[in-house]
A = this chain, B = another copy of it.
Amino acid sequence: MDGLETRQLRYFVAVAEELHFGRAAQRLGMAQPPLSKAIRDLERQLGVQLLTRTTRQVGITPAGEVFLRDARTALAAVAAAARRARQAGQSRPMLRVALKADFDGGLLAPILDAYAGLSAGSSAEVMPVELVLGGPGDQIEALHDGRADVALALTPFDEHGVDSEPLLTEPRVVALPAVDPLAARTDLCLADLAGRRLPNGSAADSGDVAPPPLGSAAVKDLSQLFNLVEVGSMVWFLPAWVARQFPRPNIAYRPLPEIPPVTLAVAWPAELRSAPVAAFVRTAQEVADAAVTATPQPRHRGPADADAAGPRQRADH
């Protein structure tokens, strides 16, 4: 009676995403008829209609929607099992740390140093670190499908299935072309950005003040982002530490009090808190605490930037 196979889940996800049997079959590297049959068998097995097909169009039922969601997480869980097993089988297992390039708040290097330095004490809970930078999806997704053991991510993110501890909170600044008239002003508000293209694609003059995603998947690293900003095709919201770490002559960073601050957090799969992960998390927290309390604020740029890169705050949970 029971016994769903991941193959069936993969097939359904493909069809549900494409809403087109032909394209889904092509994506799966198979012919269309067996795919149709597989989906029909799946529906019969579940006793539920997942898709509505006319001869011209495929739609998804409410039950199909929930199954699509659950199928995706189940597939991620299976992939995670495989990845973690492979990882655990390595003779030199690595602690895989996922992060978005340049979005570490300047903490990555000291954290890695401190973590490596831990080996003097108890060697068992320290292992070599491997950075997971690219790949599909965000860092949290890398945790879910087993590509990484721990992640540095900017909140807010999807907390489902992960535990996390905040490391540091900073306000966000807006990155403008230096030639932009707004760059001459020190106090900006969201309304001033009317007409400029924002990260979420919509123009700023639409009334939404929702916090724009600053980790849009489309832009892979800061270099690309800086290029877009420099040519004036976009403005962007960035954590203040980025303004501190990456001064650029053609880009002006300005504070924007309306935008809520971001928090950099260390996250790991909720089920899994191995000794090395725990040690890494602890180390990260200690480094972040030290950075907040001990570090004098570096000010390499103009006075406006000093405001933008206001005092670091230890994030409170």
Contacts and interface: CB of A to CB of B under 8 A. Distances in A.
For this chain, the copies found in one complex come to 2
Interface in A174-190: none
Nearest to A74: B77
- Mostly, the A contact residues are helix
A270 interface: yes
A292 interface: no
A106 interface: no
Interface residues of A, number: 42
Interface in A68-82: 69-71, 73-74, 77-82
17 contacts: A2-B79, A2-B82, A4-B6, A4-B79, A4-B82, A5-B6, A6-B6, A50-B85, A50-B89, A63-B88, A66-B85, A67-B85, A70-B77, A74-B81, A160-B270, A160-B271, A161-B271
Given A9-B78, A65-B88, 14 more contacts: A2-B79, A2-B82, A4-B78, A5-B7, A47-B89, A48-B86, A66-B84, A66-B85, A67-B85, A70-B80, A74-B80, A77-B77, A78-B78, A161-B161
Interface of A: 2-7, 9-10, 46-50, 61-67, 69-71, 73-74, 77-82, 84-86, 88-89, 146, 159-161, 270-271
